[in-house]
Amino acid sequence: MSEAYERSLVVEGSSAYERVSAAVVGVSFVAFLAAIGTFFGWVPLAENVAGFVAARYFGAVLVALGFAVAGLGVASRVGMFETAPDDSAGLVAAVVFGMLWFLTLGFVAQAVGIGAVGWIGALAAGVGLAYATLVSSEDIGSTFPVAGFLLFMGALFVAGAVTPESAWMSEAFEATFPGTVVIPTATIMGALLGGWTGAKAYAGYGTRGRQNGAFLLISLVVFLVLSILVLLLAFVFERGVAVVLENLIIGAGTALAFVALPVVLLSRRAYRRGIVTGTGTDAVSSYVRFAFLAVFVLLAAGLGYAFATATSLSYGSVTLEPTTAVGALPALVVSGVLLLVARAADTSTAETDREQLVARLARLVVAGLVAGALVELFVAEIGVPGVPFMPIAVAAVAAVSLVALVASYARDVPYPRVLPVTVLLWASVVAAVHVLATGDAVAVAGVGIVEGGTVNWPFLMNPSQGLGIQIGVMPAMFGTIWIVLGAVVFAVPLAVGAAVYLTEYAEDSLFTRGVDVATNGLWSTPSIVFGLFGLAFIVPRFGDSPSILASQLVLGFMLLPLVLITSREAMKSVPDEYRDASAALGVSKWRTIRSVVVPAAMPGVITGVILGVGRIAGETAPLLLVLNGPNFPGSAPGVLSSFDVGFGLQPPFIHVSNPALLERASALPYQLYAVITAGVGAEESFGWGTALVLLGVVLSFFAVSVASRRYFRRKLQQ
Amino acid sequence: MTETTTETEEQSTGTSVGSGDTDTRTTKGESEERTRDEWREYSFSEDAILSVDDLNVYYGDDHALKDISMDIPEKSVTALIGPSGCGKSTFLRCLNRMNDRIKSARVEGTVEYNGEDVYQDGTNLVELRKRIGMVFQAPNPFPKSIRDNIAYGPRKHGDINRGFVASLLGRDDKEEEDELVEESLRKAALWDEVNDRLDDNALGLSGGQQQRLCIARCLAVNPEVILMDEPASALDPVATSKIEDLIEELAKEYTVVVVTHNMQQAARISDQTAVFLTGGELVEYDETDKIFENPESQRVEDYVTGKFG
Ligand SMILES: Nc1ncnc2c1ncn2[C@@H]1O[C@H](COP(=O)(O)OP(=O)(O)OP(=O)(O)O)[C@@H](O)[C@H]1O
Ligand SMILES: [Mg+2]
């Protein structure tokens, strides 16, 4: 081996030194977790464990770590192992250790009562230690100060000088430091330092060692961020789930329809790609898919059993009722899925003129049905009293397609075979919409579609009856959904339009730069200011009372700048080559924007919507001003049902009004705030339930947006 | 054929020299004395589809092209060669007014396409660029499927109707589109490589395939003239020779103007060659054989023999 290199090129196996360092890192990590666990009561601190107070074990671990770290330093210094320490541990380590010791000694001095003098001494000691760290070789400089801290703190805890019961009241700080805080905090600090040093030692100090240490710290931070997220969700879930699920009853038929969805999707995938394919991660993911499929099939079997044998299953407060009615919503979902399947299978295209004619006819029929359904949904039921038109039309269409389907198997037919299936599915969707819109059931021989289905979810389906008798959050939930939807519908087109204008049409000028600054400013404007603006400006112009519409507009204003910013960035990052290519093909600017620029920018736009919706959905302050409904309203805002479309001879000929939009209402964060400020102890669980539903609503918006972003990305890449 | 570096030289006879001035907006010094008809007698060639006259291009204060005049005959390949930065791309972009898209660019002079000045007010750029297509130096397919790339132009022009509404109205032109896609891809010698993955994203093709896709996309709009800016500069010899064959093939139906840095390529594929030299001048424009075997100008001889770059 050449003398010029300090370390050999290839190191076989791991040395004892590396094993000890790795153990230090591992133990530090466990100690770190355990110390955090004590704050949540998951890990005992003051209790007796095997004859000793748990805190003493923390002390023992710290002492052990201290010895190990010191040993790592000494072993490297005396050259027992091949390491490559620098001449100095570096400025960062020196400052960190100096501060650490300054604070530790300062607090100790304060605790034993030498106060100011003690602090001066501590300062001197800290500076001295920093200097010593700086001038001593890296292996000593980065281990000894840490080892000293670990040993000192550990000894305090082991010896019982600091116990969970001890509480040090500092008059100088006007604060009390109980042992239950001091011990975990010191352990966390010690564990971080020990782990850092261990990671450095593991790579033999020097550049590689520092890199290793830095990686460890960075991964700890990442871990921390993720665990905070998980903790937050888990915490709310744990507190709220019992309230939310109370007395939930699901019809087995409905559940079956819901379960059928993933089963169909997953089986299609499995069929297409084979159950288990590929190697490595491919195989893993196909196993996972297979596992999901198996779970869903089992679920479906269980539900089918309950359904067939008419027994009800219950788990906790959730009950599965056997029932033959299929809810309107699941029916919609299932039909939608089947529709997708049918479309995917639609490889046979219409070839001859006659086939095309039939296909066109079918499409016209479907379009007519859908139009009818939309009219029913938003305007009024179609038909004369006693004779509902839509069900009859649906039945007729369904019958014809059934006959056509059967006929297609009997003989050669002048249309693609999938056509009648498609038409049938559309017909069922339309029937479901009809039920939703009119509330009349459509059923044949007991099996059919009824309004609301057979899911009874008290927490989500009931209004609260005021403090103390709260069962549900439906009005607030719908309030939030309507407000967020309205804000998105209002803000997104405006923002995208403005972004198109600013990036594609406006020249880069003082004006556009001014708009940019204004947008950024608007985005950072406090929400309560938006609320005040809404109260003073929007409310007087729309019915002179706080309302859903006003809230939609105000939250829309809040959403606008973010979507504008992200849309602009996304459009700017669409390569100019696309625009040139399109222009060179003789395509006008507007068409280019519509078919190249906006699709390519779509994922960015949706990212903006995701972030923005997350913010506005939880907004409370402006709603206090512009929504300001009863805290616990008795009914949900009937936005869909109170659309009123009239036709007149005066412009604009069609008059649309929706009184529900102009009424006050409640929203989830608003209600949550009310529950908390009411200060009634028993309401706490209701609050957590509300918070969980709020999280659920936000996450569903999030999921929809992420899915659509994936869709647009796929379209750009596939 | 003759070289056409300056106005005076243009008076020498030949079939493809610059045509005369048209309107005052573009008039330059000496040429004002002659009427348009006098110029025509000398220089208007019956088969010129594009005639450039006295073209000057400025980028801000930078004079990028100086007094360029040349006629480009129909259904032939015209090569533009010259050192880097001499203005070949700039010239090409003038022909279909893609220079309009560069803010600092200012164009003076005339470019007549079938006898009409494309720089006059009221020129419909969309129509112009439909007729004079362009293939860029770097392949730039859209992030869409191969089919969508090819059909992009015709769909946007309304020549082909696709989509839900069209199908509802019974005007879905799927077959026409399929035919067009196949025809264009065949012309661009790409059909055999991609016919089984027309619905895959075009960005998944190799660089050479992408370039041929861009050519196919341009052909699908059915232009009369195709401008190509170093279409083979990023390609390997095999792909390059495919593109060269393609260009020769295309010249049967289309007028091709191609920029290249490759002398052999220009010699192989082009009918006439224009040599630009640094400073944005057109030094010599003549039949390709003449340029490469017996050029008039010493500078051109040096350049094509590699003594001067
Ligand atoms: N968008 C632009 N803005 C300003 N100047 C430009 C622009 N495009 C080109 N130029 C200038 O115009 C001159 C000619 O450029 P052009 O791109 O036409 O050269 P070229 O002959 O195509 O070179 P190459 O062979 O390297 O592609 C150069 O001096 C260049 O700096
Ligand atoms: Mg160029």
What is the per-residue pLDDT across A106-143, written as a single tens digit (0 to 9) for each? 888 888 877 788 888 999 999 999 999 988 888 888 89
Q: What is the DSSP string of A20-64?
A: HHHHHHHHHHHHHHHHHHHHHTSS-SSSEETTEEHHHHHHHHHHH
B101: Cβ below 6 Å to ligand 1?
Answer: no
Residue A256, pLDDT > 80, answer no
CA A386 from centre of chain: 48
- Quick one: pLDDT band at residue A406, thresholds 50, 70, 90? confident
Neighbour count for residue B214 (Cβ, 10 Å): 27
Instruction: Give the number of the ligand closest to the Cα of residue B279.
Output: 1
What is the per-residue pLDDT across B181-200, written as a single tens digit (0 to 9) for each? 999 998 888 898 898 888 88
Per this entry, what is the length of chain A? 718
- Which of A578, A585, A715 lies at the smallest CB-CB distance from B129? A585
Interface test with A, best of B113, B140, B172 (most A CBs within 10 A): B140
Identify which of A377-386, A441-450, B41-50 has the greatest average pLDDT.
Answer: A377-386
Pair (B62, B26) in one structural domain = no
Residue A411, pLDDT > 70, answer no
φ/ψ of B276, rounded to 5, equals -100, 145
CB–CB of A520/A562 below 8 Å? no
Strands B255-259 and B225-229: parallel
Residues near A514 by beta carbon (within 8 Å), at least 6 away in sequence: none
- Quick one: pLDDT band at residue A10, thresholds 50, 70, 90? low
Pair (B269, B299) in one structural domain = yes
CB–CB of A24/A198 below 8 Å? yes
- Pick from A86-95, A350-359, A593-602: least confident: A350-359
Pair (B22, B152) in one structural domain = no
What is the per-residue pLDDT across A657-666, written as a single tens digit (0 to 9) for each? 777 777 788 8
Flag whether residue B134 sits within 8 Å of chain A, measured between CB atoms. Answer: yes
Flag whether residue B201 sits within 8 Å of chain A, measured between CB atoms. Answer: yes
Q: Is B57 helix (H, G, I), strand (E, B) or coil?
A: strand
* A 292-351 near B (Cβ less than 8 A): 349
Flag whether residue A584 sits within 8 Å of chain B, measured between CB atoms. Answer: yes
Residue A148, pLDDT > 90, answer yes
Identify which of A469-478, A572-581, B23-32 has the greatest average pLDDT.
Answer: A572-581
Res A347: pLDDT: 46
What is the per-residue pLDDT across A496-531, written as a single tens digit (0 to 9) for each? 999 999 999 888 889 999 999 999 999 999 999 999
* Average pLDDT, integer, range A162-166: 83
CA angle A456-A458-A460, nearest 5°? 100
Is B217 in contact with A585 (Cβ distance < 8 A)? yes
- Which of B130, B140, B143 lies at the smallest CB-CB distance from A586? B130
Q: Which residues from A are below 8 Å from B140, CB to CB? A: 575, 577-578, 580-581
**Residue-averaged pLDDT of chain B:** 80
Q: What is the position in ligand 1's atom list of the atom closest to the CA of B88?
A: 21
User: Ligand 1 atom 16: the closest Cα is on which residue?
Assistant: B87
> Does A92 or A442 have the greater pLDDT score?
A92
Is B98 in contact with A581 (Cβ distance < 8 A)? no
* Average pLDDT, integer, range A266-285: 66
Res A507: pLDDT: 83
Instruction: Give the number of the ligand closest to the Cα of residue B282.
Output: 1
Identify whether B229 is part of a domain: yes
Pair (B130, B273) in one structural domain = yes
Pair (B206, B230) in one structural domain = yes
Pair (B20, B148) in one structural domain = no
- C-alpha span between B218 and B215 (Å, rounded): 5
pTM summary value: 0.73
For A578, the closest chain B residue by CA position comes to B142
Per this entry, what is the length of chain B? 309
Neighbour count for residue A472 (Cβ, 10 Å): 24
Identify whether B276 is part of a domain: yes
Flag whether residue A594 sits within 8 Å of chain B, measured between CB atoms. Answer: no
Structurally, chain B folds into a number of domains equal to 2
Identify which of A153-167, A324-338, A658-672 has the greatest average pLDDT.
Answer: A153-167
Single out the residue of B96, B88, B81, B31 nearest to residue B64, CA to CA. B88
φ/ψ of B3, rounded to 5, equals -85, 150
Residue A412, pLDDT > 70, answer no
- Which of A364, A587, A715 lies at the smallest CB-CB distance from B153? A587
CA angle A574-B95-B126, nearest 5°? 55
Residues near B218 by beta carbon (within 8 Å), at least 6 away in sequence: A584, A585, B133, B134, B135, B226
Pair (B229, B272) in one structural domain = yes
Identify whether B309 is part of a domain: no
Single out the residue of A307, A306, A293, A305 nearest to residue A260, CA to CA. A293
- Which of B127, B142, B201 lies at the smallest CB-CB distance from A581? B142
Q: Which residues from A are below 8 Å from B141, CB to CB? A: 581
Strands A248-251 and B132-135: unpaired
Q: Which residues from A are below 8 Å from B224, CB to CB? A: none
- C-alpha span between B192 and A555 (Å, rounded): 55
Flag whether residue A583 sits within 8 Å of chain B, measured between CB atoms. Answer: yes
Strands A455-456 and B48-59: unpaired
Residue that has been written with the tokens 């719908």 in this structure: A478
Single out the residue of A482, A603, A608 nearest to residue A553, CA to CA. A482
Pair (B105, B9) in one structural domain = no
- Quick one: pLDDT band at residue B213, thresholds 50, 70, 90? very high
Pair (B101, B223) in one structural domain = yes
- C-alpha span between B272 and B267 (Å, rounded): 9
Single out the residue of A334, A337, A345 nearest to residue A418, CA to CA. A345
* Average pLDDT, integer, range A639-652: 68
- C-alpha span between A496 and A601 (Å, rounded): 10
Pair (B29, B72) in one structural domain = no
Res A377: pLDDT: 72
* Average pLDDT, integer, range A252-277: 64
* Average pLDDT, integer, range B46-72: 87
Q: What is the position in ligand 1's atom list of the atom closest to the CA of B83?
A: 25
Interface test with A, best of B152, B177, B218 (most A CBs within 10 A): B152
From its phi and psi, is residue A453 left (phi > 0), alpha (psi between -120 and 50) or beta? left
Res A177: pLDDT: 82
B89: Cβ below 6 Å to ligand 1?
Answer: yes
Domain holding B12, by residue range, is: 1-34
Residues near A662 by beta carbon (within 8 Å), at least 6 away in sequence: A542, A543, A545, A547, A548, A549
Q: Which residues from A are below 8 Å from B162, CB to CB? A: none
Flag whether residue A587 sits within 8 Å of chain B, measured between CB atoms. Answer: yes
Q: Which residues from B are below 8 Å from A591, CB to CB? A: 156
Strands A175-178 and A167-170: antiparallel
- C-alpha span between A570 and B293 (Å, rounded): 53
* Average pLDDT, integer, range A435-449: 55
Identify whether B137 is part of a domain: yes
Evaluate whether the domain defined by A469-635+661-717 bears CATH number 1.10.3720.10. yes
Q: Which residues from A are below 8 Å from B89, CB to CB? A: none
